[in-house]
Chains A and B, each alone.
Chain A
Amino acid sequence: MNFKTADRTAIWLGLMLLASSVYAAGPSYRIEVDGLACPFCAYGIEKKLNAVPGVERVETDIKHGVVIVTMDDGAALDETAAKRAVKEAGFTLKGFKRASSEQ
């Protein structure tokens, strides 16, 4: 196996692993947060939500005050846990709903 082939193989393996992790993602939740007006505030919320067991990814849309939480495959996010995380970050949870089922 020459060097280029090894490189190509490694890249494909990486992509496959990445793809498998995407397919393994669990349900997503849409959390509306009041008081969120700067990225540092978002950082605090993300840090708190990421500490919740089962959370795979957190994305924040500051402009609309929306946080999308994607869970691990088979995990679910409890509204109480989400509310606690937002409160510990210093903000107010306005809305909570499941955005999608498992991908």
Chain B
Amino acid sequence: MHPRRLRWLGLTMVAAATTLAGISHAASQTFNTALPVAEGSLVLREQLLYLKASDDNASDEPGPAERNLDVFGSFSVLGYGVRSDLALFGVLPYLDKQLELTTPGGERITRSAHGIGDAQVFAPYTLLQHDRRGSTFRVAPFVGIKLPTGDDNDRDGFGRLPQPLQPGSGSWDLFGGVIATYQTLDYQLDTQISYKTNTEANGFEFGDESRLDASAWTARPGASSAAPAAARVNSARPAGSRSATTTRFTSPTSTAIASRHCSPMARSSASGDKRGGPGTRPATSTTRPMSRATGPATSTSPMATATRSRYSAPTGHPCANGAVRSRAAPTARSTAGSRR
């Protein structure tokens, strides 16, 4: 490439990076915040996911199948401010799942699926709002529905893929909960409690989910733009298995802790279990501790899955408005002209 073009490209990238640094913002990464979306405004968030799960039985020893599940995903979240106290969010995931396992014959095989996952639509309503200079406390209940937009009947050379490997569940599922957010110039706290009822599809029913999430975010003094929050702990205690704990660090500049408890209510029908060929057998799995990762905005929960045949995307509510909120130093002044 011509050096001059290269220089322009470099300058453009710097400008873009500067702009993005201005509009990107740390926030809870796997669930909501109760912060507002201005009436008539749109916010867009892109969230990335990497999940790794392994183990095959309830003991500490790997099972005979030695299954390893890797999931890469991106979640596009679009929010619209219907009113200042009522927002509407849509979430569309794209998932790439890969499962390695050993067949009863001793052969090591890989099964995979990728595509659009199940979309979600939900609406938080600000029930309580207490504003002070430089801080706000808000409580917002929300309700939503998961739509069966993902493919739930993918097949490969071995037959139909096991249900947890399908990009979509095929079911219409309702969920709801409450979010509380306290934000100041220096830090932000978010917490959410939610419940999701999973219904049956394809002769298979995932268990209901109850979740408790929390995150904390602090601004680094003097920083013009702080990195996203950092550490998260997930826990899941599936039926008949030991609990799993995963800790992950995404940035050393701030700290977030989120915990999740998946209710051990997963149910799978016999037909659902038998339809998938290798890898279908419902099994408890536990997540391995994730390796240290750096860099903002890539992250999300390593998703402790693991209920019986249960795969539960961490994007249940990945809709932190914060993706497009920008956090600059508290002294930052922003200016906007009326004729933009």
Q: How many B residues have CB within 8 A of the partner chain?
A: 43
Bound CA span A43–B332, Å: 12
Say yes or no: B133 contacts A88, CB within 8 Å.
no
Closest chain B residue to A54 by CB distance?
B338
Q: A62-B333, A89-B39 are in contact. Are A38 and B25 (CB under 8 A)?
A: yes
A63 at the interface (CB under 8 A from B): yes
Q: For residue A44, which residues in chain B have a CB less than 8 angstroms away from its CB? A: 36-38, 41
Say yes or no: A62 contacts B332, CB within 8 Å.
yes
B139: min CB distance to chain A, Å:
14
Question: Which of A34, A46, A88 touches B40 (beta carbons < 8 Å)?
Answer: A88
Bound CA span A50–B332, Å: 19
Q: A38-B326, A89-B39 are in contact. Are A60 and B84 (CB under 8 A)?
A: no
Say yes or no: B85 contacts A37, CB within 8 Å.
no
A-B contacts besides A34-B132, A40-B326, A44-B41, 12 pairs, CB < 8 Å: A34-B133, A38-B25, A44-B37, A46-B334, A50-B337, A56-B338, A58-B336, A63-B332, A88-B83, A91-B36, A91-B136, A92-B129
Which residues of B are in contact with A by a Cβ distance under 8 Å? 22-23, 25, 35-41, 81, 83-85, 126, 129, 131-136, 183-185, 188, 321-322, 324-328, 330-338, 340
Say yes or no: B338 contacts A90, CB within 8 Å.
no
Q: Mark A27-67, 1 if CB is under 8 A from B, else 0.
A: 00000101111111111111110100001111111111100
Q: For residue A47, which residues in chain B have a CB less than 8 angstroms away from its CB? A: 38, 41, 336
Interface residues of A, dominant DSSP = mixed
Question: Which of A38, A42, A46, A48 touches B183 (beta carbons < 8 Å)?
Answer: A38
Q: Could you give 17 example pairs across A and B, Cβ below 8 Å?
A: A37-B188, A38-B25, A39-B326, A39-B334, A40-B324, A40-B326, A41-B35, A58-B335, A58-B338, A60-B333, A63-B185, A64-B133, A64-B134, A89-B39, A90-B81, A90-B84, A91-B131
Closest chain B residue to A55 by CB distance?
B338
Which residues of A are in contact with B by a Cβ distance under 8 Å? 32, 34-48, 50, 55-65, 87-92, 94
Question: Which of B23, B129, B185, B321 touches A37 (beta carbons < 8 Å)?
Answer: B185
Say yes or no: A90 contacts B328, CB within 8 Å.
no
Bound CA span A22–B38, Å: 30
Say yes or no: A35 contacts B131, CB within 8 Å.
yes
Say yes or no: B333 contacts A59, CB within 8 Å.
yes
Bound CA span A15–B305, Å: 63
